[in-house]
A = this chain, B = another copy of it.
Amino acid sequence: MQKPSLPKGTRDFSPQEMARRNYIFDTIRYVYHLYGFKQIETPAMENLSTLMGKYGEEGDKLLFKILNSGDYLSAVDENILAAKNSNEMVRKISEKGLRYDLTVPFARYVVMHRNELTFPFKRYQIQAVWRADRPQKGRYREFFQCDADTIGSDSLFNEVELIQIMDEVYKRFDIRVCIKINNRKILSGIAEIIGEAEKIVDITVAIDKLDKIGLEGVNAELISKNISQEAIAKLQPIILLSGSTAEKIAVLKTVLSDSEVGMRGLEEIEFIFEKLALLKIKNQIELDLTLARGLNYYTGAIFEVKSLDVAIGSITGGGRYDNLTGVFGMPDVSGVGISFGADRIFDVLNQLDLYPKETTIGTEVLFINFGLAEVNYLLPIVSVLRARGIRVELYPDTAKMKKQMSYADSNNIPFVVLVGEDEMRSKIMRLKNMETGEQHNVDLPALLAFLTNR
């Protein structure tokens, strides 16, 4: 007899974990809806031709590939078989892979449905993604992303809106955060000013590590990338620039005055902060020049959110990009998006114990089963409660009282109703509060009133 197990890096979600995950997804979804984002979903499987080459060489390796159906070996050349080259062979025996993120499937979606879409197109997507990464604490091979993007509009009001959304979502979670903003154009301006414009990627990658390896580490990395001592020297004060956002912008305006792209980035940042000042933003927002997100992808705003109370990486990230769909033959689709990391939010909420109490209450009342006559009497009553939207269980077996009460306990059911022979005769019910132990006699109207007003 086999003892069953799960593939490593995957997990089951128990009713309690589902209730918590639903709380996270429902909150994010609710806020996305408030701002007019529309949900789409794409299949778990995509053609490998859609996925390969989009995530770098490392990403290609981390894709889960699906074996072709049927006699998948029949068409494979004997020489390829004999060569025993796993990479070569994949192309012959697998045509599909599991979704690795939500961005590439979204790009494919936009290209395939271009004629049905109205731009700007505001879409959100909350789905699992799969990566054959080495599993570790808090990192899974199946995990969830919650993306929102607005494409087909260059307006910076889209950036403002996404910042509002991040602020609103964390306000609802009661997680205190700092929303960090940067702009890729400012980074390009800096690289230009110090005369290393073509090394912008190396520079941003190095800057991105400031928190982890410190200033000396960053400088060492810049040297290793053949960036001149002179340029590195010019870079120091800029990267370590401190003070308020207004102060930073003032200094940068002087430093970047000769860089057209840099000045444009500053204008964008100023515009965004100016609009945010018109709105009631609850969380900290700051310009953070060390924010570079390693990616060669963003062309304007860059966002990152950090929890102020739990030491964990970024819990939301995003930015503006120029060319979502070029790789699929549809040029000039620009957009801006964010992605909430559901698993890390789950960890933060757990650690700070911030789930509302209602989150894990499913059934509101359990009716105890004293026997067939009692159940016959209760069936229509239970139906009346459900018709009012009250979540009710009637214990299915005439089991010992203790067992039924412990069922209510284990399932976190706050109230129990007891109706035996006496109660049937007098048409009352005993209502027990499972938390306080208090009992009251109620008739049906009183029970309904009590439960609907809770």
Q: Which residues of B contact A1 (CB under 8 A)?
A: 327-329
Pick out which of these stretches binds chain B: A82-90, A241-249, A257-265. A82-90
**Contact B69–A132 (Cβ < 8 Å):** yes
Write the chain B residue with the least CB distance to A104: B4
> Across the two chains, which residue of chain B brings its CB closest to A328?
B4
Contact with B along A1-24 (1 / 0, CB 8 A): 111111100111111001100100
Q: How far is the CA of A14 from the CA of B114 in the complex (A)?
A: 12
Q: Is the CB of A47 within 8 A of B6?
A: yes
Identical chains in the assembly: 2
Question: Most chain-B Cβ atoms within 10 A of its Cβ — which of A43, A391, A394?
Answer: A43
* Cβ distance A448 to chain B, nearest Cβ, rounded Å: 15
> In the complex, what distance in Å separates the CA atom of A280 from the CA atom of B39?
37
Q: Which of B15, B36, B47 contacts A391 (CB 8 A)?
A: B36
Other-chain contact of A7, B10, B95, B130, B329 (Cβ < 8 Å): B95
- A73-B84, A73-B85, A397-B155 known; A376-B42 Cβ under 8 A: no
A389 touches B34 (CB 8 A): yes
Cβ proximity bits A33-68 to B, threshold 8 Å, 1 near / 0 not: 111101111111111011000000000011011110
The CA of A226 and the CA of B305, in the complex, are separated in Å by: 71
A13 touches B35 (CB 8 A): no
A3-B328, A6-B108 known; 14 other A-B pairs, CB under 8 Å? A12-B41, A14-B40, A15-B38, A33-B391, A35-B386, A35-B391, A38-B411, A44-B44, A45-B141, A45-B142, A64-B67, A67-B93, A157-B375, A279-B383
